[in-house]
Amino acid sequence: MRGLRDVLEQAQKKGVAIGHFNVADMVLLKAVFEAARELNVPVLVGASRGERAFMGVDQIAALVRSLRGEFDFPIFLNADHTHSLPEALEAARAGFDSVVFDASALPFEQNVRQTKEAVKALKAIKPAILVEGELGDIGVGSEIHEKAPDLAKGLTDPAEAKQYVEATGIDTLAPAVGNMHGMLKSMVRGETRKHLDIARIAEIKKAARVPLTLHGGSGTDDEDLRKAIAAGISVVHINTELRVAWRRGLEEGLAQQPNEVVPYKILSSAVESVKRVARSRLRLFNGDGVTLEIVA
């Protein structure tokens, strides 16, 4: 079985991106895994602080490990946005394949110092683990936002990205390139899309020379995503789109079977709804160019 590092290298060579989908329950995990298996592409599952707390750090690790083992399938687990060393180490000990150490809210020097320390401590207990650092401002919360944040000030500078990668020893970098966490209401309605600074992605890639991760990919223009992947994005994070699909699928399941109490009969429409999104995103990230069909 190939490890996450090999899978990332392969993605870079092929000019495709690995889909990263956040999961908070078995519905999401099942849907993401089934979509990836149907398309036969590797997949990364992410759990943020809230998602880890809800599912249990060891429990989500055990679930992903069991899927990988039983089906001999390249599904990997990422600790999304850890903000302290103990939190990052807990995930590493539980068997997560990668950790996002997010000190991006701190000034540059402090971000470098803390991230460097985290890389060292994490690799000491698990040499194969991949550590991602974050530079710039991509907002917080994969939720539906009322209004757009001002992203212009927090964009990642390519020269700083190079300095950051070299000083910290991170394996992958999450830059701010017009992306943001969460979606605006108009994006959920399908009226607007996020747009990315493609030239900046290419410059950061050239300077930093590590795989780049695009956080906050939900609601991004399809063509921008294709160009971003061609410019050097190797992992794309999707969370809010799945959450929207999860809720809609669940509501559908409840509405269609008003007297049903059997959970798996109600939840199967949520699985289908999430799976449609995951499938369509994975197709696009892997170079097949299928348009977004879910959030209209």
Active site residues: 80
Question: Is residue 197 within a helix (H) or strand (E), and if so which, with residue range?
Answer: none
Per-residue contact string for residues 157-196; x = within reach of Zn ion by CB under 5 A:
----------------------------------------
Q: Does 243 bind Zn ion (CB under 5 A)?
A: no
Q: Which is nearer to Zn ion, 101 or 271 (CB)?
A: 101
Q: What does the alpha-carbon distance between residue 194 and residue 109 come to, in Å, rounded to a whole number?
A: 30
CA angle 271, 70, 93 (to 5 degrees): 90
Q: Which is nearer to Zn ion, 224 or 269 (CB)?
A: 224
Q: How far apart are CB 80 and Zn ion at their closest, in Å?
A: 6
Among the residue ranges 91-99, 203-211, 215-223, 242-250, the one whose residues contact Zn ion (CB under 5 A): 215-223
Q: Which is nearer to Zn ion, 44 or 271 (CB)?
A: 44
Give the up-direction half-sphere exposure of residue 287: CA atoms within 13 A in the CB hemisphere: 10
The separation between CA 238 and the C-alpha centre of its own chain, rounded to angstroms, equals: 5
Among the residue ranges 21-29, 31-39, 57-65, 207-215, the one whose residues contact Zn ion (CB under 5 A): 207-215
Among the residue ranges 35-43, 149-157, 210-218, 226-234, the one whose residues contact Zn ion (CB under 5 A): 210-218
Q: Which is nearer to Zn ion, 200 or 237 (CB)?
A: 237
Q: How far apart are CB 267 and Zn ion at their closest, in Å?
A: 26
Q: Which is nearer to Zn ion, 182 or 253 (CB)?
A: 182
Q: How far apart are CB 105 and Zn ion at their closest, in Å?
A: 13
Pick from 20, 162, 215, 279 the residue near Zn ion by CB under 5 A. 215
Joined together, the tokens standing for residue 208 give 């930093």
**Integer angstrom CA distances of residue 163 from 40, 166, 227:** 37, 5, 25
Q: Which amino acid is at 170?
A: I
Q: Which is nearer to Zn ion, 79 or 267 (CB)?
A: 79
Q: What does the alpha-carbon distance between residue 280 and residue 28 come to, in Å, rounded to a whole number?
A: 15
Give the up-direction half-sphere exposure of residue 24: CA atoms within 13 A in the CB hemisphere: 16
Q: What does the alpha-carbon distance between residue 249 and residue 273 come to, in Å, rounded to a whole number?
A: 5
Joined together, the tokens standing for residue 186 give 């108009």
- List the one residue out of 169, 70, 183 whose CA is nearest residue 129: 169
Q: What does the alpha-carbon distance between residue 179 and residue 196 come to, in Å, rounded to a whole number?
A: 6
Local structure of residue 260 (DSSP, 8 states): -
Q: How far apart are CB 256 and Zn ion at their closest, in Å?
A: 33
Q: What does the alpha-carbon distance between residue 216 and residue 80 come to, in Å, rounded to a whole number?
A: 12
- By rule CB under 5 A, what count of residues binds Zn ion? 1
Q: How far apart are CB 243 and Zn ion at their closest, in Å?
A: 13
- List the one residue out of 132, 283, 292 whose CA is nearest residue 214: 132
Q: Which amino acid is at 134?
A: E
Q: How far apart are CB 100 and Zn ion at their closest, in Å?
A: 7
Contacts with Zn ion, residue ranges (CB under 5 A): 215
